[in-house]
């Protein structure tokens, strides 16, 4: 082994980090609770303290190994500026120079992007999208995130904030979203969205129910839980048929907690997708579930930010 | 003048063609009725016969001038294969090798793409999008077409058919579209869409009314015609706010017959766009009307297919 890259994934709840080989193996890893750290620099210091130990250990095992850089996935990260800007799911205030903070602390190149775009880069380098130049990754976690690759390149948009497919409006006067608007896709198709659907279908349920519990109940055959999955899948499939008309991807990869439900989600997604698709696309676009292990995938995605840059030319 | 390019625009009604300078000047032009020719090869021969005379005349005027190629915009043109595939608005049947037909007949390089993508390339090279690497062009003609540029490149998608924004579904169980589905954007926002809206608002109108007449009536102050524009603009602005969340463009350029209505269309588009836009995009994305002359724009767009290829590196 001649080189390794640091991968860091900052989520609203957990922050995971580790070292990733060029072959896509997670060599070592750790995690922290994001909310245990009020300020960004406190989290950065704690993450880097652990990473430095991981790096030392790797260097003992493989003397002469080179650390190529650190890739970071974080909510509301702007790849053009290196800043995390007003992240509603983090306790940090305003604009945080996260890329520079990691670069200074680890004394290496750092690159940041948002978590969903990192996931898409990970799929392209190590997962289901290897060899594809036109695909979407949809992450179904607390919210709905996306990474759009066209002509082989990630679409960042003019300001770094392209690919907010979770905030495409799918229902006029629909559910209130965290963004302040009504009817955003992620209010229906996400871990929190399916809970809202389930509570509408079965209002007597304890409001602390989560998507994992709904999956369990659906797999056990509870009609309301199965209906919640059918509705979520149908809504997502319909939205994906519209996204297909924008970039005409070769495949759409679903990722995140909700996809653990497997065919419960995938069957209604595929049915609604094909039913609503424009003729010229029918039968051409594959909908797949990510084959990467969920925790590792985030690290692989973040690490691929560095690998794709270093080995591009 | 050292070089020129042939630009050809094949529409459902008219086919226009001419010679374009590198500075974006239309040096000579002609046009034919597309439907006067049953078969594609008949149209190609007639267009090329006229173009050969134009080329001879240009060569007399500028001895030694080089013809760099022929760019062709046509409905349902696939830039990857050079074929026009099952174009519903043309009398041609099946798959037509249009790129090769023009290349053989004119004995030069030919490139084809669909008319809306050609328009977008024209805006990038000669029009309102000069210098922009992330923008959309929306053509509001008989239907609604689009060209999406991200990271400086046209998005063609994996099959050559990206950018079918006219067929994004905006209304469940909405108006029947020529594609066989219900609720496509172009059934509301196009020259034919506004006629449908107007006829719904004023059913006693003679059904032969066209968008030009509706524009005239709206400018004269007729409430139903003004309402038709308000509804069309609002529907378009709402849809554009969703497209913004996909590629986060710097600007959106509106093009085609309907934009002659000016502020009648543009004001409701802008109002609905900003009102429905996700916070992070608000106030950042310009909506403009194309500054290119409509007939010339199609030729400039087609010609830029060749210019951008020749002068890329």
State how far residue A53 is from chain B, nearest Cα, in angstroms.
Answer: 38
Out of A156, A181, A248, the one facing B161 most closely (by C-beta) is: A248
User: Which residues make up the CATH 3.30.420.40 domain(s) of chain B?
Assistant: 3-120+295-310, 132-290
Q: Let me know if A152 is exposed, middle or buried by CB neighbors in 10 A (0-12, 13-18, 19+).
A: exposed
Q: Cβ of A167 and B278 within 8 Å?
A: yes
Residues forming a β-bridge with B96:
B84
Instruction: Answer yes or no: do B247 and A153 touch at CB < 8 A.
Output: no
What single DSSP character describes residue B220?
A: T
Q: Which of A150, A159, A278 sits opposite B155 (nearest CB)?
A: A150
What is the rounded CA–CA span in Å between residue A226 and residue A215?
A: 8
Q: Is the pLDDT of residue B164 over 80?
A: yes
In angstroms, the first-to-last Cα distance of chain A is 21
| pLDDT tens readout for residues A122-169 | 999 999 999 999 999 999 988 999 999 999 999 999 999 999 999 999
Pick from A134, A156, A159: which is nearest to B157 by CB? Answer: A134
| Tokens 């050079």 belong to residue | B82
Q: Mean of the pLDDT values across residues B105-134?
A: 95
The per-residue pLDDT of chain B, averaged, comes to 94
Q: Which residues contact A8 (CB under 8 A, 6 or more apart)?
A: A15, A16, A17, A47, A51, A70, A71, A72, A73, A74, A102, A299, A302
Given an 8 Å threshold on Cβ–Cβ distance, is B276 in contact with A238?
A: no
In percent, the amount of chain A with pLDDT more than 90 equals 87
pLDDT for A227-239, tens place per residue?
999 999 999 999 9
**Is A247 in contact with B162 (Cβ distance < 8 A)?**
yes
For residues A31 and B298, the model is more confident at A31
What is the pLDDT, as a whole number, of residue A312?
A: 67
- Which residues of chain B are within 8 Å of residue A165 when distances are taken between CB atoms? 245-246
Residues B191-220 pLDDT 10s = 999 999 999 999 999 989 999 999 999 999
Cβ distance A165 to B281 less than 8 Å, yes or no, reads no
Residues in contact with A231: Cβ distance below 8 Å, sequence separation at least 6, in sequence order: A188, A197, A268
The residues of chain A that CATH labels 3.30.420.40 are 3-120+295-310, 131-290
User: What is the tens place of the pLDDT at every residue in B142-155?
Assistant: 899 999 999 999 99
Domain A3-120+295-310: CATH superfamily, name plus number: ATPase, nucleotide binding domain (3.30.420.40)
- What distance in Å separates residue A116's CA from the closest CA in chain B? 13
pLDDT at A112: 97
Closest CA of chain A from B166, distance in Å: 9
Rounded to a whole number of angstroms, the distance from the CA of B292 to the nearest CA of chain A is: 23
* Chain A positions touching chain B (beta carbons under 8 Å): 85, 132-134, 148, 150-151, 153, 155-165, 167-169, 179-181, 238, 241-243, 245-250, 276, 278-281, 284
Provide the pLDDT for residue A86: 83
d(CA B170, CA B186): 9
ipTM of the complex: 0.92
Q: What DSSP string describes chain A? A: --EEEEEEEE-SSEEEEEEEETTS-EEEEEEEEGGG-SSHHHHHHHHHHHHHHHHHHHHHHSTTPEEEEEEEE-TTEETTTTEEE--TTSS--SEE-HHHHHHHHHTS-EEEE-HHHHHHHHHHHHSTTTT-SSEEEEEESSSEEEEEEETTEE---TTS----GGGSB-STT--B-TTS-B-BGGGTSSHHHHHHHHHHH-TTS-TT--HHHHHHHHHTT-HHHHHHHHHHHHHHHHHHHHHHHHH--SEEEEESGGGGGTHHHHHHHHHHHHHHS-GGGTTT-EEEE--S-HHHHHHHHHHHHHHHHHT--
Interface test with B, best of A135, A188, A242 (most B CBs within 10 A): A242
B269's CB contacts (< 8 A; 6+ apart) are B233, B234, B236, B237, B240, B254, B287
Tell me the per-residue pLDDT of A221-265, one tens digit each, with 9 for 90 and over. Answer: 999 999 999 999 999 999 999 999 999 999 999 999 899 999 999
Mean residue pLDDT across chain A: 94
Q: Which pLDDT does position B87 carry in this prediction?
A: 82
Interchain CB distance below 8 Å, B161 and A276: no
From chain A, pick out residues whose CB is under 8 angstroms from the CB of B281: 159, 161
Which value, in Å, is the radius of gyration of the alpha carbons in chain A? 20
Task: Report CB contact under 8 Å: A155, B151.
Answer: yes
For residue B149, the chain A residue with the least C-alpha distance is: A157
What's the CA gap between B132 and B154, in Å, rounded?
12
Q: What is the pLDDT of residues B264-287, one digit of tens each?
A: 999 999 999 999 999 999 999 999
- Residue A23 — pLDDT band, cuts 50, 70, 90? very high
pLDDT of residue A311: 76
Residues listed for chain B: 313
Encode burial over A242-256: b for 16+ CB neighbours within 10 A, e otherwise.
bbbbbbbbbbbbbbb
CA distances from A259 to A191, A255, A267, A292 (A): 10, 6, 11, 12
Rounded Cα distance between A117 and B205, Å, is 51
* Statement: residue B189 has pLDDT above 50: yes
Which architecture characterizes domain B132-290 according to CATH? 2-Layer Sandwich (3.30)
The CA distance from B130 to the nearest CA of chain A, in Å, is 14
Q: Can you identify the CATH homologous superfamily of domain A131-290? A: ATPase, nucleotide binding domain (3.30.420.40)
């Amino acid at each position: 082994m001649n080189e390794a890259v640091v991968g860091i994934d900052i989520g609203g709840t957990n922050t995971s980090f580790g070292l990733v080989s060029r072959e896509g193996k997670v060599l070592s890893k750790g995690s922290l609770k994001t909310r245990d750290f009020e300020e960004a620099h406190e989290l950065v210091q704690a993450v880097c303290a652990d990473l430095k130990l991981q790096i030392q250990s790797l260097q003992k095992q493989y003397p002469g190994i080179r650390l190529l850089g650190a890739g970071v996935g974080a909510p509301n990260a702007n790849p053009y500026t290196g800043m995390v800007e007003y992240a509603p799911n983090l306790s940090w205030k305003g604009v945080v120079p996260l890329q520079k903070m990691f670069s200074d602390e680890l004394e290496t190149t750092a690159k940041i992007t948002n978590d969903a775009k990192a996931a898409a880069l990970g799929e392209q380098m190590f997962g289901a999208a290897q060899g594809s130049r036109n695909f979407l990754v949809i992450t179904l976690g607390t919210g709905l995130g996306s990474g759009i690759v066209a002509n082989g390149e990630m679409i960042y948009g003019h300001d770094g904030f392209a690919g907010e497919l979770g905030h495409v409006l799918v229902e006029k006067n629909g559910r209130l979203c965290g963004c302040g608007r009504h009817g955003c896709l992620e209010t229906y198709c996400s871990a929190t969205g399916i809970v809202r659907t389930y509570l509408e279908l079965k209002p007597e349920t304890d409001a602390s129910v989560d998507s994992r519990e709904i999956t369990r109940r659906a797999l056990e055959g509870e009609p309301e839980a199965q209906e919640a999955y059918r509705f979520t899948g149908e809504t997502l499939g319909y939205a994906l048929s519209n996204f297909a008309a924008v970039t005409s991807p070769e495949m759409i990869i679903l990722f995140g907690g909700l996809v653990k439900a497997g065919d419960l989600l995938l069957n209604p997604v595929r049915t609604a997708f094909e039913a609503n698709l424009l003729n010229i696309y029918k039968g051409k676009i594959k909908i797949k579930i990510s084959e990467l292990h969920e925790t590792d995938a985030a690290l692989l995605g973040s690490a691929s930010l560095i690998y794709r840059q270093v080995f591009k030319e």
